[in-house]
Amino acid sequence: FSTPAGADAPGPLPSGHSYDFTFDAGPGSYLNFATMFVQSNDLFYAPGGTGIALFDGDGMPRSGDVTDEVYLWDAGTELNEEPGLGADQAPRQGGPGSGAADANPNVRIAADEFGNLPSVDEAIQVTLTHLGGTEFRLRIANIAGENALQVSAGGSAPVLLAPGVWTVGGGMDALFTDGQPDRGLGLEGLAEDGDIAGYHGQLTAKTGITSPIAPGVYAVHDGSPVLFMAGGADRGEGLEALAEDGDPSGLAGAVAARAGVVESGVFNTPDGGASPAPAFPGDSYSFSVMARPGDRLSLATMFVQSNDLFFAPAEAGVALFDSSGMPHNGDITGMFLLWDAGTEVNEVPGVGLHQAPRQAGADTGDTENGNVRQVNDGYSYPEVDRVVRITITPMTPGS
C-alpha cells in the first residue's frame, strides 16, 4: 500500500488521511502489515505475533476497529535518536542507511527512550471491514494531532506514515519475529527509509498457494478419452465429485466399464500411510499397471485449493512406450495440465468458502454448467510442476 486514499500517486501519509487496500481471505487467515513511523530511525507499526485474525472463533468474518492489535516496533537496525529531531532520520538524513547500527539488533516493541512517543491510538487507527464473501478492506488512518510528537527543541514535529507492505496467510510471524534480528528481506529499508520495493519483491516471491492433492483415478487405455472430453460438459459419471470434493469412487466405476480401458483403479493412500488421505507437500501416491506398446495412461487428481480443478494429461493420455516399443522412463509432469471441470463457479484459489478445505459439505458451491477446459478464469495459479511431479518407472513382472 503506497497511495493515500484520494491521491493520484504514491507518497507518505499525513494526518487526516488513510491508506486503504482490499484483499481476499478464508477462515483461519491472518493479516500482517508494516508501515514506518517516519519521524524515527527504524520504528514501524505492525500487528504482533501471528497477525490480526480475520475470522472469529466461530469462523465468522470480523469487522471493526483493530487498532488495539497494532504496536509500534523497533526494527533493531539503526541506533535511535530523539523522534522528530534525529539527524539520521528520514526527513533529515543525508541518505538511506546513514545512521549508526543499533547495539540491540533484535526486533522489539519500541521503547519511549526520549519520552515523546505518542501512544499507538494517538497516531494511527486501523479498521477492518468485511465486504462480503471472502473480501475485506483494511484502512490505516493517520489520526495524529498537531502536538502528538513533542520535541525537546520546543514545539512539535508532524507524524507521518510511509508506504508499507501487507500479507495474508496462516500467520506464523510472516514479517518478523519478536526478539529476533531482522531477516534481511527488506524490513530495514521499510523501517529506516520507508522504502518498500525490496521487501515487496521478497514477499511476492514467497507468496502462493500450498495445496494438497486428493485421491484420484487412473486408467491404462487405447487413447480414447476415458476420463473427460475437453470442451464438452461433464459426463455425469463422477468427474464432478473428484474435481470438487476429492472423491474418486464414482469416476473409477465408470472408467472401469468404458470400452478401450485395459486396466484402471484408484490411488488414495499416500506412500507409507495406513489409510486413504490427501497427499500433502512431501507425500506421494504410487500405483503399478501392466501395459503393452500402444497403451496410454490417464489419471486425474484434484487440486484441493479450488472449487473444481484437477490435474490430468490431455484427454488421450500419456504414451507409455515410444515409437520403437521401448517403455518411457522418468518425469512426465510436463504432459500434465490444470483442468477446470466446469461444474462449480470458481472462487479465489486458496480462500474460497466453497472449496474443499473450507466448505461446509460436499457439493456446496454455485453450479456453473460449463465445459471441461484448461483453467483460465483470471485468477493466479501455480505452475503444475510447482505442485505435482509425476514419474513413471518401467518394471519387469514380479519386481
pLDDT tens-digit series, residues 277-335? 999 999 999 999 999 999 999 999 999 999 999 999 999 999 999 999 999 999 999 99
Answer whether residue 398 shows pLDDT above 70.
Answer: no
Q: What are phi and psi of 297, to 5 degrees?
A: -115, 130
Stretch 345-364: mean pLDDT: 88
pLDDT tens-digit series, residues 176-210? 999 999 999 999 999 999 999 999 999 998 888 88
Per-residue model confidence (pLDDT) at position 171: 73
More confident residue, 97 or 106: 106
Q: How far apart are the first and last CA of the chain?
A: 58
Stretch 347-376: mean pLDDT: 90
* Contact of 351 with 134, CB cutoff 8 Å: yes
pLDDT tens-digit series, residues 15-63? 999 999 999 999 999 999 999 999 999 999 999 989 999 999 998 999 9
Please give the C-alpha separations between residue 110 and each of 31, 113, 245, in angstroms, as whole numbers. 21, 9, 48
Per-residue model confidence (pLDDT) at position 379: 93
Answer whether residue 363 shows pLDDT above 70.
Answer: yes
- Cα-based angle 183, 125, 140 (whole degrees, multiple of 5): 60
* Contact of 79 with 100, CB cutoff 8 Å: yes
Mean pLDDT in the chain? 94
Q: What percent of the chain has pLDDT over 70?
A: 99
Per-residue model confidence (pLDDT) at position 181: 96
CA gap 285, 251 in Å, rounded: 18
Q: What percent of the chain has pLDDT over 90?
A: 85
- The position carrying cell 476429492 is 246
Per-residue model confidence (pLDDT) at position 356: 85
pTM: 0.85
Half-sphere exposure of 89 (CA within 13 A, CB side): 22
Per-residue model confidence (pLDDT) at position 397: 63
378 Cα distance to chain centroid: 16
* Contact of 69 with 22, CB cutoff 8 Å: no
How many secondary structure helices (H) and strands (E) does the chain include? Answer: 5, 21
Which of 132, 303, 312, 343 has its CA nearest to residue 208?
303
